[in-house]
A and B are shown apart, each in its own frame.
Chain A
Amino acid sequence: MIFDQNTMLILTLIALAILVIQLYMEYRRKPKQAKYIPKEVIVCKKCGYEAERDYEPGDFISLVKGKCPKCGGELVIKAIYSVKLEERKT
C-alpha cells in the first residue's frame, strides 16, 4: 500500500467528485411541490352565465352570491376546487 502523493491527490479528488454528484442527484430527486389555490365557479341559473373567481372563506356549493352582470338573476356557486398555480419564468 504505497501510494505516491499524486495518486493520493487524484483518489481524494475522485472521491470528492462522486460525493458532490451524489448530493446533487439527491437534491434533484426531490420533486418541487406545486402550489394550489382555491377557486369557485359561479353560474347564473337564468341565462347560464359562468365565471371562475377566487374562493372566499365560508363559501360552499349552492350558496347564492350576488347578481348576474348580464341579466340580474341570482348567481349560485356551482363548484369549488383548487387549481395549480402556474409559475411563469421570466
Chain B
Amino acid sequence: MATDWVSLATQLIWIILFILIFTGANQKIQMRLWSYDIRNKLSVIKSYLEQDRARVERQLKNLGVKSPDLLIKRAMDFFIIQPVDIEPTDIIKRLEHLIITGDKSFRKMVEQVIPTSTKYERSLVETGLSIVGVMNQIYKIVRHYLLSGEKENNWILLMQLEMSMPQIMRIVETYHKSLDAFLTGTPIGDSVGPLVAYRLIELGKVISKKVVEDTSITELWLDDRRIYVIKAEGPGSNVGRPGRVLYDLVEELKGGVDLVITIDAALKLEGEETGEIAEGIGAAIGDPGPEKIAIERATTKYGIPLKALVIKMDLGEAIHTMKKEIYEAGEKALEYVRRIIIESTKPKSTIIVAGIGNTLGVPG
C-alpha cells in the first residue's frame, strides 16, 4: 500500500537526519555552503581589485609611464611595521618616525617613476596606489582565512568569516568606489575640514601665508581677531601634518594663543544624520597618534582651551565625492566656528583654527 511506503520513507529521513546531527556531518554540509559563499564573494573582491589596478595603470600610462606594472607591484605590497608597544617609552616618537619615513619613501617611489608630473598629479597617483594596496591586503587576508579554514576543517573560523563577509564587502565596495574621487580630484567628505578652513581664509584679510611640511599656515584678520588657519596644502590629495605644525606655531608664538579650534569629519553612528554638526572639547583628528598628541601637548603646556567641531558622516561618505548635504553642513560649520570664536574670546585675541582632513579639491 502507498501509505506504508510513505511512512517508511519518513522514518528513514528522520533516522538519516539524526545520524547527521550526531556525527557532525550536518556541519560539514554547512561548512561547504559557507566556503562556497565566501569563495563567490572573494571572486567579487578580486574583480574589483583588478579593475582598480587597471584604472591606476591607465592613469600612470596617461602620465607617460611605459611599464607601470613595476611601480604598482612595489606600491601594492608596501608596508609599515608597527613599533614595539610593550615598551611604551618614546612610542610616539618612534611611530612618528616610521610614518614620516613611510610617507617619504612612498612619495619617492612614485616620483622616480613620474618625475615630470606636477605635485597635484603625483598626489592623486599616490592615493590611487594606496587604495589598490588596501584592496589587495583585504583580498589576501580573506583568502588566507578561507584557505586555512578549509584546510584545517575549522568550521568555526569559516563561520566567523561568513558572518563578517557583509561588513568586509561593504568596506571593499567603499574603497572601490572611492577611486572615482581620487582619480578625478573632486573634494571628498573628509575634505570638509579643509573646506571650512579655506572659506575662513576667503572671508578674512590675509596678512601672511607660509607652507611647512605640506601644511599651510595663513595668518588673517577677521572679526577684529588675529586668526591662524592651518590646513593641508591643496588642492592635491594630502593630509599634511597639522599637529606638528600647530605645535611649532604655538611655540613660535610663545603660547600667546587664546583658543585652538579643530574642525574635522567624524564617523557617524548608524542612525545618525549625515552632516550633523557637533561641538566638543579635545583634538578632532583621526591620525594614528603623533599629530593628535602634538595638538594636546601644545595646548596643555600653555593652558590654551582646545575646542572641536565635527561634521558627521559614514566611511563611504568620507572617502567619496563630497555630498551636497556635507557641503551645506560645511557652510553651516563656518558660521558655527565664527560664533564660537566671538563667544569665547575677546577682540584682538589670537586664535588657531585647524581644518583637519584630506584637502583633495580644496586649495589654500
* A interface residues with partner B (beta carbon < 8 Å): 1-5, 8, 36, 38, 55, 57-62, 79-83
Contacts and interface: CB of A to CB of B under 8 A. Distances in A.
B6 A5 contact: yes
Contact of B363 (A36, A38, A61, A81): A61
Most chain B beta-carbon contacts within 10 A, residue among A55, A58, A59, A81: A81
Interface in B311-364: 320-324, 326-327, 361-364
Given A5-B2, A8-B6, A83 B324 contact: yes
Given A81-B321, A82-B322, A60 B235 contact: yes
A51 to B, nearest CB: 15
B326 A61 contact: no
B187 A81 contact: yes
Contacts of A38: 184, 186, 321
Contacts of A2: 3, 7
Contacts of B228: none
Nearest to A61: B362
Q: Which residue of B7, B14, B326 has the most chain A CB atoms within 10 A of its CB atom?
A: B7
Contacts of B183: 57
Contact of A1 (B7, B322, B323): B7
Contact of B186 (A3, A5, A8, A82): A82
Contacts of A8: 6, 10
Nearest to A82: B321
B198 interface: yes
Interface in B179-210: 183-187, 195, 198
Interface residues of B, number: 27
Contacts of B195: 61
A75 to B, nearest CB: 16
A26 to B, nearest CB: 12
A80 B198 CA distance: 14
B133 interface: no
A41 to B, nearest CB: 9
B11 interface: yes
B243 interface: no
Nearest to B195: A61
B362 A60 contact: yes
A1 B8 CA distance: 10
Contacts of B322: 80-82
A1 B11 contact: yes
B234 interface: yes
Nearest to B10: A1
B235 A61 contact: yes
A5 B363 CA distance: 77
A1 B11 CA distance: 8
B6 A81 contact: no
B170 to A, nearest CB: 11
Contacts of B327: 79, 81
Contact of A80 (B10, B187, B320, B364): B187
B321 A61 contact: no
Contacts of A4: 3, 6
A57 B235 CA distance: 13
Given A36-B323, A82-B186, A82-B320, A61 B3 contact: no
Given A38-B321, A62-B363, A82-B323, A57 B7 contact: no
A59 B2 contact: no
